[in-house]
Amino acid sequence: MARGANQKLKLPLLERILLQETDEEHPMTVQELIAALEARGVGAERKSIYDDMEALRQLDVDVQSRKGKSPGWFVGARTFELAELKLLVDAVQSCKFITRKKSDALIAKLETLASRHEARQLQRQVYVDRRVKTMNESVYYNIDKLHAAISGAHAVTFKYFEYNVRKEKVFRREGRRYQVSPYGLLWDNENYYLAGFDHQHAELRHYRVDKMAELAVTCLPRQGDGTCENFDIASYAQKHFGMFSGREGQVTLRCRKGLVGVVLDRFGQDVMLVPDGEEHFSATVRAVVSPQFLGWVFGLGDGVAVTGPDWAVAALEEQMEAVGRQYR
């Protein structure tokens, strides 16, 4: 490109150079900026650079200048601070439902939001013990489709599968498509789930998004408004431990006082805690009594006891008996 050509590109090129090459620790002098523009085929004079900087400020680019030992121009505040980008990179790197390939692509895009100098600090490997990444590349796009279906109040269809011991997909319902009216997406235990009205069984169910195949958004209007009236995705997630199904009801727990934080973390700040003697308290919570819920109770040892209702106590006793039989 000849010197002086494409002067209309000067301002956007200057903005790109500043965003890519500068930060508070790495300013560029006026002469360096002129040289960078000329390397891209755009001529510039010293005085015009100052005018351009003022124009960029009017366009809400935080262009700053510094004098002294390391003089020059640089971009100060950006859409994301470096600490925020590090947090996002860590979240993407450690997220189970995003494949390794997609994680690398997302992190590369996040790096473009910082200067090339700061981007080096984002090129790090977050260690998560024995982190397992999903094998289903389509989950990333399935989430986008499901959000669109929820927003448009349309039903979706998909095939649902499990893996066999040879790590092969085995489709449920002999490969027949599920038809579901989506009501909400939730992230539980590092997996994405769709909560929706299953047309075949006429009830609210949930499905792992990474186990969906050939997902399609239909033109059919969403069903189940009567069944799913006043659906609250947060309440649904709170009641389903690990998204396992079971009988739902009000369950009373008798807990040691040292477990107040554990109970509040699990069931939320609205749970009523009633003193029960000097060392215990009782809490009545709404939960789905599933093997996962009972496992949570087991995990707290003698610190928690299920005291009601009778069917919940019976379920706990049956689970204990079943586990005991495994080792007899």
Lowest mean per-residue pLDDT among 94-98, 174-178, 199-203, 300-304: 94-98
pLDDT band at 204 (very low <50, low <70, confident <90, very high): confident
Q: Is 324 helix (H, G, I), strand (E, B) or coil?
A: helix
CA atoms within 13 A on the CB side of 122: 29
Triad 143, 238, 231: Cα angle to 5°: 65
Q: What is the largest CA-CA distance in the chain?
A: 88
Higher-confidence position of 309 and 224? 309
Tokens 């010293």 found at: 46
Max mean pLDDT range (64-78, 183-197, 288-302): 64-78
- What is d(CA 236, CA 262) in angstroms, rounded to the nearest whole number? 19
pLDDT at 22: 94
pLDDT at position 21: 94
Question: Which band of pLDDT confidence, cut at 50, 70 and 90, is reported for residue 258?
Answer: confident
- One-letter amino acid of 274: V
pTM: 0.57
Mean predicted confidence (pLDDT) in 67-72: 86
Confidence band (pLDDT; 50, 70, 90) for 137? low
Average pLDDT over residues 124-136: 54
| Mean pLDDT confidence for 303-325 | 89
**C-alpha distance across the termini of the chain, in Å:** 82
Do the Cβ atoms of 122 and 89 come closer than 8 Å? yes
pLDDT of residue 239: 66
Average pLDDT value for residue range 12-32: 94
